[in-house]
Amino acid sequence: MNLTIEIDPRSGFCNGVVRAVQQAENYLQYSSRLYSLGAIVHNTEELERLKKKGLEILSISDVEKLHDDVILVRAHGEPPSTYALARRNGLQVIDCTCPVVLKLQQRVRETWERLRPSGGQVVIFGKKGHAEVNGLVGQTDGEALVIGSEAEAASIDFSRPVALFSQTTKDPDEYARVAAYVHSRRPDAEVYDTICRQVAQRHKSLVSFAESHSVILFVSGRESSNGKVLFALCRSVNARSYWLENASQIDQSWFRDGDRVGICGATSTPKWQLEEIFIYLQAITRS
């Protein structure tokens, strides 16, 4: 079968995840074990690779029982309560919170403290229960309202001042629609552009990449919020888009002779995984 195969040059780990993985690997060069509070990346294949090096994933309830050890805080960030727990338990923290997320946490905290005396409210557009969102809600002592869609924006109390923020990895177009609705209900609402620039640019480039190939293989862990958003984007412009986690899930019936195959992924997808798919497809073309 004759296939033209290309890896999306913009796909792969975002800067925040690259930094977190590098710090974990650096520590594990000199230690047989490192605890990570939550999955360092929402990608099963990459997690298995890191576990073989000594990374162990803990929940917050596990950390409550841990004393005088070392924990890694992943790029998603954590609420202030986690750092307070670490201090109480004598834990050293390797803080890998993405600088973009850290800046957003600080802005949410400052805005909440400013609006609170006048009865204002902080609203976060994001996935309920997501690690980054939990960290943002923690900046408001749990008072922020989380909405996941334009429809859920109707639950905002528009009789009170509103400040709207977005989880950094959300779809920019969807956030724009939510922001427009909020402004239509309360014109003086504060709306902050807090989607990561790297993520926003990837949305734009991925549309072009998906349109310019006859088949798209989107590689991502199933738990990745960013993966769900980006795959839906690919599928919206190219019906022959397929979501997979590894090469074993490829079905040769997806391809036709002469197809241009594009391989891309989420911000939680490592380059090595995209290259693995590329090598597998090359073998198909030779068979």
Nearest CA to 67 among 49, 97, 88, 81? Answer: 88
Mean pLDDT computed over every residue of the chain:
93
DSSP 141-200: TT-PEEE-STGGGGGS-TTS-EEEEE-TTS-HHHHHHHHHHHHHH-TT-EE---S-HHHH
What's the first-to-final CA gap in the chain, in angstroms? 7
pLDDT of residue 58: 95
Cβ(189)–Cβ(182) below 8 Å: yes
Cβ(187)–Cβ(179) below 8 Å: no
Q: Is residue 71 classed as helix, strand or coil in its secondary structure?
A: strand
Q: Where in the chain are all domains bearing CATH 3.40.50.11270?
A: 15-97
213 compared with 1, residue with greater pLDDT: 213
pLDDT digits (tens, 9 = 90+) for 54-106: 999 999 999 999 999 999 999 999 999 999 999 999 999 999 999 999 999 99
pLDDT digits (tens, 9 = 90+) for 255-271: 999 999 999 999 889 99
Domain spanning 100-195 has what CATH number?
3.40.1010.20
125 compared with 16, residue with greater pLDDT: 125
pLDDT of residue 134: 96
Q: Where in the chain are all domains bearing CATH 3.40.1010.20?
A: 4-12+198-286, 100-195
Rounded CA-CA distance 286/21 in Å is 35
Choose the weakest-confidence range: 124-128, 171-175, 215-219. 171-175
* pLDDT band, residue 287 (cuts 50/70/90): low
Determine phi and psi for 283, rounding to 5 degrees: -65, -35
Instruction: Kindly tell me if the per-residue pLDDT of 14 is higher than 90.
Output: no
Instruction: Please state at what angle helix 99-115 crosses helix 131-138, rounded to 10 degrees.
Output: 40
Domain spanning 4-12+198-286 has what CATH number?
3.40.1010.20
Cβ(133)–Cβ(146) below 8 Å: yes
pLDDT of residue 15: 87
* pLDDT band, residue 168 (cuts 50/70/90): very high
The model's pTM is 0.86
- 64 a catalytic residue: no
146 compared with 196, residue with greater pLDDT: 146
pLDDT of residue 6: 96
Instruction: Kindly tell me if the per-residue pLDDT of 1 is higher than 80.
Output: no
For domain 15-97, the CATH class is alpha beta
Q: Which of 25, 46, 113, 132 is catalytic?
A: 132
pLDDT digits (tens, 9 = 90+) for 218-245: 999 888 888 888 999 999 999 999 999 9
